[in-house]
Amino acid sequence: MAKTAPPVLTHVRMIVDDFDEVLETYAAEFFVQGGIDNARRGRGARLWRCAEPNGAEIELIARDVAVELLGEGPLSTEKVTLVFNADDVDASVRAFVDGGATVVEPVRTLDAAGSKRAVLRDPGGVLLEVSRPVGSWGSLLDESRT
């Protein structure tokens, strides 16, 4: 049986209390998708460095809208989450668990297209989201919010 490709770190998600101040800090160095004014209105932003070939990316969300965007649970309360995309979410979860991570939310199918997601915590306490988006499912911050 062929080994599946490892998951790809797509971005770091940060839930912050002082959204405007934190946004200003990162906007000084990162491009703000949709512009800084739209990010302020929507209380969420996707930021990245276009000069990076693989684009270091940050998903910044104000704490006051986190539950609306992410639902109840650790994804909306955790300060920092590493977000990975994987071709095989189940295999990636097994590999992370074998490496010492614990499952916070088991693998589940999110939509009819087959998008999947699991949430884990590494031994150091960092939250990990492993997902397989299908179709147009992807960022929790769509173009209308940012």
pTM (2 d.p.): 0.83
Distance of CA 8 to the CA centre of its chain: 12
How far is Cα 117 from Cα 98, in angstroms, rounded to an integer?
A: 18
Sheet arrangement for strand 31-32:
31-32, 44-48, 57-62, 8-16, 80-85, 127-132, 116-121, 102-109
Three-class SS of residue 76? helix
How far is Cα 6 from Cα 109, in angstroms, rounded to an integer?
A: 20
Amino acid 48 reads: W
- Quick one: pLDDT at residue 134? 73
For the domain covering 8-132, report its CATH number: 3.10.180.10
- Quick one: pLDDT at residue 52? 56
What are the tens digits of pLDDT across the range 17-70? 999 999 999 998 888 989 999 999 999 998 886 555 556 689 999 999 999 999
Q: How many residues does the chain have?
A: 146
What are the tens digits of pLDDT across the range 83-141? 999 999 999 999 999 999 999 999 999 888 888 999 999 999 999 999 987 765 445 55
- Quick one: pLDDT at residue 37? 94
What string of H, E and C letters represents the secondary structure of 94-139?
A: HHHHHCCCEEEEEEEECCCCCCEEEEEECCCCCEEEEEECCCCCCC
What are the structural domain ranges in the chain? 8-132
Ramachandran area for residue 67 (φ above 0: left; ψ -120 to 50: alpha; else beta): alpha
